[in-house]
């Protein structure tokens, strides 16, 4: 595979990447759980979208306390998902379809069932003793610091085997690796080499800005009260000692050097309110190729100012880094449900796809986004997500975004599985199934394919500069410019009112939701070629 047909630009620059959540994508063996063979059987759908790569969330051996993000063996496939032979078949099929394969790498922590942790907790002096973050209690027996877990409660758990506390940013079953330790860094880099040797083309580094902690074990300061409801103790602190450590650039530079050995791409997940700064820290110079944060994933409203501000943080100059963007993923409420009322969600799905393909950077498309799937409502007694259960009813996001992919409108469980799925299918999702939309040239799926083809065929969209034109209350206008080619991108982000404007400058390449030159109905979009 070459550079993607855009001159000297590497394949990943400006790429469109499709995220697969394995448990919910396709079940090949009828046990109600998605698996690798199911993904392989459906890769033709992914390839037909016109994306460049598929990112697969974790399928490694795991007790599944956090559904794969608690890894017990980084170099093996959990039997729920299949075998290494199934993975090799997936890679071969993907490459045959022109798709690159990107894997999730969970390096900030492991499962407490990992052999590394078993050895570490067994002895304070053994070879794995310092592979995790251990600390003595305060004189009164309380935890070493005030640090709080993302999932609720203290980020320290007492372990009687060692007579110490261990640190975990997430669940107590997810102890944090000590990536200040060079031996640990080498161990996780060997994991990357293992998968590169099996043909993997890149990695998404999960929660990478959580990877290093303050070695002096200083407390986090309190967060100011901004009048917003806070559902977790974590929200009452500024995580200055547990995120975005000053040594993180050196760590990711070491990662980049090893990935360059296998010509592999790396994108980092920059979590938190300060994600934009973390994205830039992760990508400047010879660090990660790209990073993405939560500018859009956690936003409750999509506004012109939000989009313009996110783009302004990434100037087109050498060494500034290269961003990635996502509107939906497995950790966030689906964008059409966050950004639009129920009666406008079909139109919102079309607008969001139009905007996503026009952004400067890489773009991530989450499974079902190409169908316009809304967030599913999962009853409390069927929730599986530990965060949602702990914070119900204030945090409902993750299970409702992880329900099964609908493949066939009239099949049981919308064609995902012949057995009862691990999460209930979303109500109404069957009507949006792939086979129902395949037959309709006016469907969201058909539009997604056209828009992704437009992005692939227009270097200005994939690689060009971002030039702001207007960011008003509802109207967002910007140009994408590459050489002499200039495309104007116009969006009405209001679900309730029409916008009349004077920014149209040429013939339309695409018009969505009734857009016309000079007039944008609610949630309409138009991309034009600017004529001299």
* CA–CA separation, 158 and 398 (whole Å): 28
Mean pLDDT of 488-513: 97
Selected residue with higher pLDDT from 355 and 278: 355
Pick from 8, 186, 7, 151: nearest CA to 70 = 151
pLDDT tens per residue, range 334-368: 999 999 999 999 999 999 999 999 999 999 999 99
Active-site residues: which are they? Answer: 206, 261
* CA–CA separation, 186 and 89 (whole Å): 28
Instruction: Assign domain 16-107+180-212+247-454 one CATH number from 3.40.50.300, 3.20.20.80, 3.40.50.720, 3.40.50.1370.
Output: 3.20.20.80
* CA–CA separation, 429 and 376 (whole Å): 8
Mean pLDDT of 18-43: 98
Q: Is the Cα dihedral 242, 243, 249, 251 positive or negative?
A: positive
Query: What pLDDT score was predicted for residue 145?
Result: 98
Identify the weakest region by mean pLDDT among 33-42, 52-61, 272-281, 522-531: 272-281
pLDDT band for position 395 (cuts 50, 70, 90):
low
Averaged confidence pLDDT in the chain: 95
Name the percent of the chain in helix, strand, coil, to the closest 5: 30, 20, 50
Range list for CATH 2.60.40.1180 in the chain: 466-529
pTM of the model: 0.95
DSSP tag of 339: H
Query: What pLDDT score was predicted for residue 396?
Result: 59
CATH class of 466-529: mainly beta
* CA–CA separation, 81 and 90 (whole Å): 12
Helix H segments across 151-201?
182-197
Pick from 131, 196, 125: nearest CA to 163 = 125
Mean pLDDT of 137-152: 96
Pick from 14, 9, 81: nearest CA to 51 = 14
Given a cut of 70, whether residue 397 has pLDDT beyond it is no
Residue 230 near residue 391, CB atoms below 8 Å: no
Point out which residues pair with 222 in neighbouring strands. 237
* Non-local CB neighbours of 299 within 8 Å, separated by 6+ positions: 306, 338, 339
* CA–CA separation, 17 and 324 (whole Å): 10
Q: Which two tokens stand for residue 232?
A: 């977790």
* Non-local CB neighbours of 290 within 8 Å, separated by 6+ positions: 12, 265, 266, 267, 268, 283, 321, 322, 323, 324, 361, 362
Residue 37 near residue 84, CB atoms below 8 Å: no
pLDDT band for position 2 (cuts 50, 70, 90):
very low
* CA–CA separation, 336 and 450 (whole Å): 19
* Non-local CB neighbours of 439 within 8 Å, separated by 6+ positions: none
**393 upstream amide cis, omega within 30 of 0:** yes
Query: What pLDDT score was predicted for residue 115?
Result: 98
Share of the chain above pLDDT 70, in %: 98
Given a cut of 60, whether residue 405 has pLDDT beyond it is yes
Q: Is the Cα dihedral 211, 213, 219, 224 positive or negative?
A: negative
Residue 298 burial class via C-beta count within 10 angstroms: exposed 0-12, middle 13-18, buried 19 and up: middle
* CA–CA separation, 202 and 262 (whole Å): 9
Range list for CATH 3.90.400.10 in the chain: 109-178
Query: What pLDDT score was predicted for residue 275?
Result: 80
Query: What pLDDT score was predicted for residue 340?
Result: 94
* Non-local CB neighbours of 513 within 8 Å, separated by 6+ positions: 347, 350, 351, 521, 522, 523, 524, 525
Share of the chain above pLDDT 90, in %: 88
Q: Which two tokens stand for residue 336?
A: 């059409």
- β-pairing, 290-292 with 156-159? unpaired
Mean pLDDT of 29-49: 98
Given a cut of 50, whether residue 137 has pLDDT beyond it is yes
Given a cut of 50, whether residue 3 has pLDDT beyond it is no
* CA–CA separation, 432 and 403 (whole Å): 14
Mean pLDDT of 173-188: 98
pLDDT band for position 6 (cuts 50, 70, 90):
very low
Check if CATH label 3.90.400.10 holds for domain 109-178: yes
DSSP tag of 318: T
């Amino acid at each position: 595979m070459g550079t993607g047909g855009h001159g000297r630009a590497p394949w990943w620059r400006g790429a469109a990447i499709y995220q697969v959540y394995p448990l919910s994508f396709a079940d090949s063996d009828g046990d109600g759980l998605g698996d690798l063979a199911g993904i392989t059987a459906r890769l033709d759908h992914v390839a037909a979208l016109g994306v460049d790569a598929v990112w697969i969330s974790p399928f490694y051996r795991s007790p599944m306390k956090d559904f794969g993000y608690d890894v017990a063996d980084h170099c093996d496939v959990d039997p729920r998902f299949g075998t290494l032979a199934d993975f090799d078949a997936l890679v071969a099929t993907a490459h045959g379809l022109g798709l690159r394969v990107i894997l999730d790498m969970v390096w900030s922590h492991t499962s407490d069932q990992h052999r590394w942790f078993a050895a570490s907790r067994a002895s304070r002096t053994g070879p794995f003793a310092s592979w995790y973050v251990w600390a003595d209690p305060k004189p009164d027996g309380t935890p070493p610091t005030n640090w709080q877990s993302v999932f609720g409660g203290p980020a320290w758990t007492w372990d009687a085997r060692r007579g110490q506390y261990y640190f975990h940013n997430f669940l107590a079953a997810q102890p944090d690796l000590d990536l200040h330790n060079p031996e640990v860094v080498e161990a996780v880099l060997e994991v990357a080499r293992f998968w590169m040797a099996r043909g993997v083309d890149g990695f998404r580094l999960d929660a990478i800005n959580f990877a290093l902690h303050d070695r002096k074990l200083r407390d986090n300061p309190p967060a100011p009260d901004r009048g917003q409801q806070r559902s977790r103790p974590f929200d009452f602190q500024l995580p200055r000692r547990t995120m975005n450590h000053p040594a993180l650039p050196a760590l990711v530079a070491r990662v980049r050097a090893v990935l360059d050995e296998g010509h592999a791409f790396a994108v980092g997940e920059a979590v938190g309110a300060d994600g934009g700064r973390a994205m830039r820290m992760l990508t400047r110079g010879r660090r990660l190729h790209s990073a993405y944060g939560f500018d859009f994933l956690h936003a409750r409203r999509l506004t012109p100012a939000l989009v313009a501000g996110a783009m302004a943080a990434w100037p087109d100059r050498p060494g500034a880094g290269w961003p990635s963007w996502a509107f939906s993923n497995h950790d966030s409420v689906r964008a059409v449900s966050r950004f639009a009322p129920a009666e406008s969600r079909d139109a919102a799905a079309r607008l969001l796809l139009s905007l996503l393909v026009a952004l400067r950077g890489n773009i991530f498309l989450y499974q079902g986004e190409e169908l316009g799937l809304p967030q599913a409502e999962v009853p409390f007694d069927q929730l599986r997500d530990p965060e949602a259960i702990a914070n119900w009813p204030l945090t409902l996001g993750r299970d409702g975004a992880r329900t099964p992919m609908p493949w066939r409108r009239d099949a049981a469980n919308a064609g995902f599985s012949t057995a009862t799925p691990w999460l209930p299918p979303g109500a109404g999702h069957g009507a949006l199934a792939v086979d129902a939309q395949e037959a309709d040239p006016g469907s969201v799926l058909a539009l997604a394919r056209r828009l992704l083809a437009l992005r692939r065929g227009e270097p200005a969209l994939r690689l060009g500069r971002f030039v702001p034109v207007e960011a008003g209350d509802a109207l967002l206008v910007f140009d994408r410019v590459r050489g002499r080619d200039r495309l104007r991108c116009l969006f009405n982000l209001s679900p309730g009112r029409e916008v009349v404007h004077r920014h149209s400058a040429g013939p339309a390449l695409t018009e969505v939701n009734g857009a016309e030159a000079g007039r944008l109905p609610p949630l309409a979009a138009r991309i034009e070629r600017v004529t001299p």
